[in-house]
Amino acid sequence: MSTLAHVFEAEGLATIALGSQRNQIANTAPPRGLWCDFPLGRPLGKPGDPEFQHRVLAHAFALLDAPEPVFETFEESIEDDGTEIMACPLPPRHDPDAHPAVDEARGLRPAYDRAVARYGNRVGAGRVVDADHIIEAIEAFVRVAEGTHWKEAAIPGIPARVAQDVRGYYEIAALGLADHVPGAWAGTRWFFDHTEGGKTVLAAREAMRVAEVKHAVWFYMTPGDR
């Protein structure tokens, strides 16, 4: 973004870059930069808190009046210590003949639809696989976890992007189950640690690693800390 900011500025368009990682935004040196010490993925800070978000935006737009280059820090930090655990009631088994992850994902569809109706689908499924085809994606990862070569498992796209859609589907469904907006990474931790879908993605990733598939193919199926 900082590189693009310089390109736009060269064409006469004023820019402001908001960054959540201090070293990254400082080292890339955009013409106008605001470091916001917030969890990654939440550039305006607090979901559902328009007053706070407007404060962030007001500070950012105020940089337009300062001589460039300018680099400032937003006055308030938000910490995510990684301890929040979502307590989402997963649906009971409906089809005992289906793989647990497949049965689980089907059962989560009403919660997913409720959350999309309320919040929109900004980070849910749809990059490669939409909600109507998440089951097929999970079935493909099941096949990989059970030993099928990933190229023969009918994964509907690049594995990392398909895995992101599966995770997004679950995290949006979690919003339909929870009674509050969770911490920045609480939904991700819930997906990988407490759901059959998350276990399946991890198992497929591990099978690809053991089979010595190229690192770039399997590594980005999960966040780097996994």
Residues 119, 78 contacting (CB under 8 angstroms): no
H-run or E-run covering 56? helix 50-62
pLDDT score of 164 more than 80? yes
Q: Which has more pLDDT, 64 or 10?
A: 64
Q: How much is the mean pLDDT over the chain?
A: 88
Helix (H/G/I), strand (E/B), else coil: 83: coil
pLDDT at 225 over 90: no
- 102 CB-near residues (< 8 Å, 6+ apart): 95, 135, 138, 139, 142
Q: Which residue has the higher pLDDT, 166 or 224?
A: 166
* Long-range Cβ contact pairs of 118-121 (< 8 A, separation 24 or more): 118/175, 118/176, 119/172, 119/175, 121/172
Q: DSSP 3-state assignment of 213?
A: coil
Rounded CA separation 101/181 (Å): 24
Predicted TM-score (pTM) of this structure: 0.74
Beta-carbon contacts of 6 under 8 Å, excluding residues fewer than 6 positions away, are 30, 31
Question: What is the greatest pairwise CA distance in the chain?
Answer: 66
* pLDDT tens digits, one per residue of 31-81: 989 998 888 778 888 777 889 999 999 999 999 988 878 899 999 888 876
CA 65 to the chain's CA centroid = 34
pLDDT for 223 equals: 87
Give the CA distances from residue 66 to residues 3, 59, 61, 62, in Å, rounded to whole numbers and listed in that order. Answer: 20, 11, 10, 7
Whether the predicted pLDDT of 153 surpasses 70: yes
Q: Which residue has the higher pLDDT, 88 or 114?
A: 114
What are the pLDDT digits (tens) for 98-130? 999 999 999 999 999 998 988 777 667 888 999
